[in-house]
Structure formats: C-alpha cells, structure tokens
C-alpha cells in the first residue's frame, strides 16, 4: 500500500519511478527506496520528504519554521495514528478530532497545499471510502478538505474519486 | 493470697457488678417509663384528635362498587375544569398522580388521561387534620372520588394541564387503592429524551415499559399516541367510505401462504395444518372478482420473520385497500395517495393536542407532504442514490439504509416526508405482480414512504389466470394450494390494484418516533408474547 502511495506521489511530483522494496516490521510493511547515491531510505515519511527534495518542491515541506514543524507533525500523525486504526471507534474519534482541527482551515498547514495534505489524503482514502453519506456529513470539515484535495491537480492519481453531496441532508437530526 | 482475701475480692467485685447492673436497670426503667409516657401522650393526643375529628364522613374508603347505588352525581372531566367553572362545587373521579403534604395542607395532582389539575386539602372548616393526613397517605395511582370547589389561581400552575384553576377538596374517597410500590414511576416514563441523562435522573427503558404496559399506557404520551392511532383508523374509514369503498372482513386462518411460504406462522388445524394470514391479499382480490369494485379491510396481519428491528412486529394491524380500475393502475395509486394525504390533513386538524403532547417527550419535525403526492420511478430513485455515491444493481431491492438515505435525498430536493416510488423491478416483488408492458424487468408496483421508511407496498395484480399460473410457476409455488385463488380469475376478472399499510408504522413515522413498539399497544415480536 505504502509503495503504491509513493509511486502516486512520484507521479504527482513529476518524478520518474524509483525502485522500491518493502520490509516487514511487525505487522506492517515498511517501504524501502534504493537511491542511486548513498544508502537506501526507509519509511513512508522519510521517502516522501526525500522525493519532495528530489523534485525541488521544498515548499511542500513548509516555508516558515512553524509550517515546517506542522508538516512534520502531521506526517508523524499519519504514521502513528491513521496507519494504526483498528476499530470503528478509533475511526470515529480520529475523524472527530480532525473535523475540529479543520474547522477553520483549508489545508493541514498554512494557506497552501503541503506534503501533509497529500500524505494524509492517501492515508484516509480507504477510511473515507467506507463512510456512509450520513457519516460524511457528520465530519463535514474533513469531507470538505478531502473533496478539495482529491480535486487538486495531480494529487488523486489512481485513487478512485469519492462522492460528496454538496447539500446537507441531515441538518435536522440532533 | 489467702482464701479470705480471695473471697473478699470476689464480693467486692460482685458488689461492683451488681451496682453497675442496678444503675443500668434503673436507666432502662427510666427509659421505658419515658417511652411509655410518650406513647401515652401520643395515644391521648391521637385520641383527642380523633375525638375532635368532625370530618369523618368527608373522607374514607367506601365499600367496593358493586353497582349497589346509582346516585345522581355528575362527574366532571378534568379537562373541563377551567375558569368558566370557577367557584362551582364539582365532583371529579381521577387518579392521584402525586401527593405532597406540607404541615396542615396536602397538595395532590389529580390526573385523568392526559389532563391533570392541582388539588388541595387544607385543615379548616371543611377538612380536619385527620382528613389531610388521610389524603396525604393515599398511594400514587389510586383512583379517588373528590368533591371540591374550583378556584381561580393567582399564578399559573406550570406543571399541570389545567393551569388557571385548582380544586379545593371538601370530600375525598378512595374508590380503588393502588399498591404503594409501582414497578415504574410515571414521571420517569414521561421524561423527554436525553433530559434524564443530563440531570442524572432515572429513565425507563423500553423493556420495562412493555413489561408493565398497563402503567406505561397511562402516561400522557401513550394516551396521545393511541388517541392519534385511533384517529388514523377513523380517517382511513371515513375517507374510503366517502370514495365509495366497502369494508370487508377476511379470514386470518388460511390454507396457503400468500407471498411465498417462508415467513408464515403455521397453526395446527384439526388433522391438518393452516397458516396465519400475512395479508388479506387473496381475499380482497377475490372480492374484486366478486364485483365489489372497491374494498378495504382493517385487521391483524402476521409475519413470522425472525427480525428484531425497530420497525418489525410479528403481529400488526394492516389497513388494506383493493380497487378495480378502468385503464391504468395509476388511477388506484392516486386514490391511495389521496387517502394518505386526507389522513395526514385530518390528523393535523383534529389531533394537534396529541401531536404536541408526543412532541414534548419525543421532539420531531412536523410531518410534511405535497399535494398531489410526489411520485418517482424506481429508476429515478436509483439515479439519485448513485449520485450520492451508492453502488447498486439495476434490479436490486432497496436496503433499509438506502431506503432511509433516499428519503433524506427526496426531503432535501422536494421537501416532503411522503412520496411514492413506482415501477419496482419485477424480480423483487411477489408472483401476483403485473409486469410492466414496456420492459418485463420492471413491474406495475409501488411502495409509499414516510420519513424514508416504507409504509405501504402495492401493485397492479395479474387478473389473467393464464399469466398468473405462469408467474406462480416461475416463483415455484405449489399450484394445487392456490387453486381456488387462480380459479377465481377464470370467470371474468376486472383489472385491479391495491396496497397494504401497517397502522403502527404510519403512527410511528407520522409522529417521528423511533420504535414501532411505541405505537403498538401490546407489541408482539420474536421475543415478546406478553403482556
């Protein structure tokens, strides 16, 4: 899964396909990238940051020091929280938190798209695809953000486009 | 130590002990004396009180009513206790909803169905101390006969339905005493949804309610629900009678299942077995063949589906319609839809109090509908669902979540809680459903929905014996068992259509309740046979 994401990211950044392998660590598969020079890189966030540098689009890692820190924080969130969702309860809590965070934001960090948006979009895709119309409306800010990112040029790649209704249909349910 | 010493010491000890014992005895005796004195005092006081009781004939427990007298006494309804009756002396029979004694006064809330009034017994000219005490000791839910004066109150009594007056009791008799411990408290059973949890107060769960249904049915909410339900039946009858329908009664013990054999109850019938009717389907159709033209039927219907959901019962009341038409089955659809609209309108006009009473405990949006009723085709419904991201096959039946979602989408688009879904795929309908003339994949059948849940299922029926036989064979139904049914179409049968509605579901969805058991007086489901 992580390898597919990285190749989607490569395409999104306009890079050539790299050589990936994956290494089992516990229950999860950690992606490994064999670079031309130097040692191989291990881990989703590490490789993703490397690809951004490779494509000379460092602004995707944040411009100011604060933005850089926020991007790092969400990359970590992706790996430690989103990749370890196990129960429906976990999903509900995560979406609730994210929904609150995104209430007054267009992107995860700052006013421009960053690597955090792309990586979290890929990570949440299977979760959001599973939601009912009502659930999508319950976490309306996540839905708005997700819909925006999936339409951002180049980001979606092979991921199926998900449907979001623009009108609220559950407004009168308490 | 010598023996003497020993003895002396022992004596000393004895003496000391006996001294202690004596003191103790003395104290106890004093205590007892005091107690006796107190008791005597209380007794004498009581005696004195009883001696002074001038109101003995104004309260008490009269002999059980065995129809020995027929007094000329007009019992006034609690809902009629208004300002117009101020200063009148009235008799009222009601239940003691709550009582609260405070020194020389005792406040009672007297309840009659969903109405209640504050009543007051105060020591004075008319009532003695003992009478107030008696009134305070009447158990909750006891039935009492009360004579009193209607008095205007300065401040509105917010907790009662009769807010402008209170009743000053002059006589009070217990007609039927309730046991002191009730299995559930009415205040708990009527608390608005969610409110109890915030205040840490008790709420009564569904099963407790149903186990003690007789008491639960006394709540204002239940009274209103079933008052309104009676209204649904009444309006159904009224409307159809005006349209020239005939009410029929059909047998409920039948020889063959009408819609496939899986979900019927089997009963032993002498040496053979029979089934409980899933719907009066076959009989109302036979009435059409017998030239009754327009018939309807209100009666119990049985489903042996082992589903424990918020909207399934194993026995419910079916409102069934069957009608012959001239050229197009939409003639019938229009009649049924108009009947539903007339019911909704009638409820709005005549049962506003009931609707509001229920709304206080179970808040919901007022029921909305369009005139004429919105009719969508199944294909359009599917398109709306697909647009919302639902993946569904063309001939797939609507699942409950999709049904509800479609209801929401329709509400958002057309602002109606009531609509018709027409032209269902033939594959998901019973064998007697008429196929569509253009596309045999579809059928001339329809469902009606309230707040996104199905309440009526209907169709044009096959009135041709030949086609009916084919359809039955296609559904692998034993022709022998439905011979009488098929034969009834051999001697000239008019084209006809109809539908069946669940009374409990209509009431539930009209009021926006969440469980069909709330609108069934004594619900039957796979897990409940009592009360």
Q: Of B365, B388, B412, which has the smallest distance from its Cβ to A163's Cβ?
A: B388
Rounded CA separation B489/B499 (Å): 19
**All residues at 6 or more sequence positions from B225 whose CB lies less than 8 Å from its CB, including other chains:** B354, B358, B507, B511, B513, B518, B519
pLDDT band at A174 (very low <50, low <70, confident <90, very high): very low
Cα(B180)–Cα(B25) distance, integer angstroms: 41
Whether residue B199 has a cis bond before it, omega within 30° of 0: no
How many C-beta atoms lie closer than 10 Å to residue B493's C-beta?
20
Scan residues 281-300 of B and list those with Cβ closer than 8 Å to A.
none
Distance CA(B40)–CA(A9), nearest Å, equals 97
- Residues in B touching A163 (Cβ below 8 Å): 387-389
Q: If DSSP states are collapsed to H, E and C, what string results for B333-387?
A: HHHHHHHHHHHHHHHHHHCHHHHHHHHHHCCCCCCCCCCCCEEEEHHHHHHHHHH
- Cβ distance B128 to B55 under 8 Å? yes
Q: From CA B106, how far away is CA B112, in angstroms rounded?
A: 19
Query: pLDDT > 90: what percent of chain A?
Result: 67
Nearest chain A residue to B363 by CA: give it: A174
**Phi-psi category of residue B514: left, alpha or beta, with phi > 0 → left and psi -120 to 50 → alpha:** alpha
Residue B433: the pLDDT is: 94
B383 in reach of chain A (CB within 8 A): no
Question: Which of the residues B187, B238, B293, B305 is marked catalytic?
Answer: B305
Contact B389 A170 (CB under 8 A): no
DSSP conformational letter for B435: B
Give A50's contacts (C-beta < 8 A, 6+ positions apart): A33, A35, A41
Strand partners, B299: B318
Nearest CA to A162 among A140, A133, A134?
Answer: A133
| Cβ–Cβ below 8 Å for A169 and B412 | yes
Put simply, whether B379 touches A (Cβ < 8 Å) is no
Q: What angle do helix axes A65-80 and A115-129 make, rounded to 10 degrees?
A: 30
The answer to whether residue B209 is catalytic is: no
- Tell me the count of A-B CB pairs closer than 8 A: 26
Q: What are phi and psi of A141, to 5 degrees?
A: -70, -35
Catalytic residue among B218, B311, B429, B496, which? B311
What secondary structure letter does DSSP report for B302?
A: E
Q: Is the peptide bond before B299 cis (omega within 30 degrees of 0)?
A: no
Chain A interface includes B387 (CB < 8 A): yes
Non-local (6+) Cβ contacts of B337 within 8 A are B372, B373, B375, B420, B448
Chain A residue nearest residue B409, CA to CA: A169
Taking alpha carbons only, the member of B247, B282, B223, B213 closest to residue B482 is B282
B457 a catalytic residue: yes
pLDDT (0 to 100) of residue A28: 76
CB contact under 8 A, B389 and A172: no
User: In this structure, are strands B59-60 and B165-176 parallel, antiparallel, or unpaired?
Assistant: parallel
Tokens standing for A127? 């979760």
Res B329: pLDDT: 96
Nearest to B117 by CA among B89, B88, B84, B93: B93
**Phi-psi map region of B200: left, alpha, beta (phi>0 left; psi -120 to 50 alpha):** left
The residue annotated as part of the active site, out of B457, B471, B504, B520, is B457
Predicted pLDDT of residue B1: 47
Q: What is the pLDDT along chain B (531 residues), one digit of tens a residue?
A: 445 555 555 555 666 566 777 777 777 777 777 777 777 666 665 555 555 678 888 999 999 999 998 999 999 999 999 999 899 999 999 999 999 998 889 999 999 998 999 999 999 888 889 999 999 999 999 999 999 999 999 999 998 999 999 999 999 999 999 999 999 988 888 888 766 666 677 788 888 999 999 999 999 999 999 999 999 999 999 999 999 999 999 999 988 766 555 688 999 999 998 999 988 888 999 999 999 999 999 999 999 988 889 989 999 999 999 999 999 999 999 999 999 999 999 999 999 999 999 999 999 999 999 989 999 999 999 999 999 988 899 889 999 999 999 999 999 999 999 999 999 999 999 999 999 999 999 999 999 999 999 999 999 999 999 999 999 999 888 888 788 889 999 999 999 999 999 999 999 999 999 999 999 999 999 999 988
Q: At what angle do helices A44-54 and A115-129 cross, to 10 degrees?
A: 130
ipTM over cut 0.85: no
Whether the full predicted model's pTM is greater than 0.90, yes or no, is no
- Average pLDDT on A49-53 reads 93
**Distance, in angstroms, between B409 CA and closest chain A CA?**
7
Residue A68: exposed, middle, or buried by beta-carbon count in 10 A (0-12, 13-18, 19+)? Answer: middle
Does residue B454 carry a catalytic annotation?
yes
Say if CB B211 and CB B182 are below 8 A apart: no
Q: Which of A160, A90, A169 is nearest to A121 (CA)?
A: A160
- The Cβ of residue A148 has, within 10 Å, a number of other Cβ atoms equal to 16
Residue-wise pLDDT for A77-95, tens only, equals 999 999 888 889 999 999 9
B505 catalytically annotated: yes
CA–CA separation, A99 and B225 (whole Å) = 39
Yes or no: say if B148 and B167 are a contact pair by the CB < 8 Å rule.
yes
Is residue A41's pLDDT more than 60? yes
Q: Residue B4 has what pLDDT?
A: 52
Q: Beginning with the edge strand found earlier in the chain, give each strand of the sheet holding B272-276 in spatial order.
A: B253-254, B272-276, B266-269
**B474 catalytically annotated:** no
pLDDT score, position A1: 67
User: What pLDDT, on a 0 to 100 scale, did the predictor assign at position B28?
Assistant: 77
């Amino acid at each position: 899964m992580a390898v597919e994401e990285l190749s989607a990211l490569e395409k999104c950044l306009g890079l050539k396909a790299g050589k990936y392998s994956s290494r089992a660590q516990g229950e999860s598969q950690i992606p490994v990238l064999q670079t031309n020079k130097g040692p191989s890189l291990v881990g989703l966030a590490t490789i993703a940051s490397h690809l951004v540098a490779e494509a000379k689009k460092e602004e995707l890692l944040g411009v100011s020091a604060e933005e850089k820190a926020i991007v790092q924080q969400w990359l970590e969130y992706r790996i430690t929280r989103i990749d370890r969702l196990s129960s429906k309860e976990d999903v509900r809590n995560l979406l609730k938190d994210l929904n609150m965070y995104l209430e007054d934001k267009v992107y995860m960090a700052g006013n421009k798209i960053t690597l955090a948006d792309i990586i979290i979009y890929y990570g949440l895709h299977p979760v959001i695809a599973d939601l009912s119309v009502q659930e999508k409306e319950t976490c309306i800010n996540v839905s708005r953000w997700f819909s925006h990112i999936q339409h951002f040029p180049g980001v979606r790649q092979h991921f199926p486009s998900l449907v979001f209704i623009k009108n609220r249909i559950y407004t009168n349910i308490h | 130590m010598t023996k003497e010493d020993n003895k002396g010491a022992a004596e000393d000890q004895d003496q000391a002990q006996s001294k202690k014992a004596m003191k103790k005895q003395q104290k106890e005796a004093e205590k007892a004396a005091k107690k006796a004195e107190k008791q005597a005092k209380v007794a004498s006081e009581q005696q004195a009180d009883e001696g002074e009781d001038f109101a003995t004939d104004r309260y008490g427990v009269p002999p059980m009513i065995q129809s020995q007298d027929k007094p000329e006494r007009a019992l006034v309804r609690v809902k009629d206790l208004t300002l117009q009756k101020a200063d009148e002396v009235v008799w009222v029979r009601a239940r003691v909803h709550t009582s609260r004694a405070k020194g020389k006064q005792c406040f009672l809330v007297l309840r009659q169905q969903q109405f209640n009034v504050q009543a007051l017994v105060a020591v004075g000219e008319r009532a003695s101390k003992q009478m107030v005490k008696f009134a305070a000791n009447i158990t909750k839910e006891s039935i009492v006969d009360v004579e009193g004066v209607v008095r205007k109150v300065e401040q509105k009594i917010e907790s009662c339905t009769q807010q402008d007056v209170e009743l000053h009791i002059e006589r009070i008799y217990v007609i039927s005493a309730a046991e002191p411990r009730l299995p559930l408290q009415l205040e708990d059973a009527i608390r608005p949804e969610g409110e109890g949890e915030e205040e840490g107060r008790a709420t009564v769960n569904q099963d407790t309610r149903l186990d003690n249904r007789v008491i639960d049915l006394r709540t204002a909410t239940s009274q209103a629900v079933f008052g309104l339900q009676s209204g649904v039946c009444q309006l159904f009858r009224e409307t159809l009678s005006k349209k020239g329908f005939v009410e029929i009664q059909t047998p409920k013990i039948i020889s063959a299942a009408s819609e496939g054999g899986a979900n019927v109850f089997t009963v032993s019938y002498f040496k053979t077995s029979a089934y409980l009717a899933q719907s009066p389907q076959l009989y109302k159709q036979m009435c059409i063949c017998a030239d009754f033209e327009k018939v309807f039927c209100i009666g119990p219907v049985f489903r042996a589906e082992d589903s424990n959901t918020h909207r399934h019962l194993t026995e419910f009341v079916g409102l069934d319609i069957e009608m012959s038409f001239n050229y197009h089955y939409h003639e019938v659809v229009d009649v049924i839809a108009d009947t539903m609209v007339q019911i909704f309108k009638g409820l709005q006009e005549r049962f506003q109090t009931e609707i509001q009473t229920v709304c206080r405990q179970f808040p919901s949006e007022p029921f909305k509908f369009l005139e004429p009723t919105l009719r969508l085709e199944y294909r359009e419904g599917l398109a709306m669902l697909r647009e919302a991201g639902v993946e569904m096959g063309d001939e797939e039946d609507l699942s409950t979540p999709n049904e509800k979602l479609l209801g929401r989408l329709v509400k958002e688009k057309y602002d109606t809680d009531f609509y018709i879904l027409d032209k269902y795929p033939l594959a998901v309908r019973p064998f007697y459903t008429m196929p569509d003339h253009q596309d045999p994949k579809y059928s001339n059948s329809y469902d009606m929905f309230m707040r996104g849940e199905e309440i009526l299922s209907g169709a044009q029926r096959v009135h041709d014996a030949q086609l009916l036989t084919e359809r039955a064979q296609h559904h692998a139904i034993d022709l022998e068992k439905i011979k009488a049914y098929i034969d009834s179409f051999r001697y000239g049968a008019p084209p006809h259509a109809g539908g069946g509605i669940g009374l409990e579901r209509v009431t539930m969805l009209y009021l926006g309740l969440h469980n069909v058991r709330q609108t069934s007086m004594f619900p039957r489901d796979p897990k409940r046979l009592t009360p």
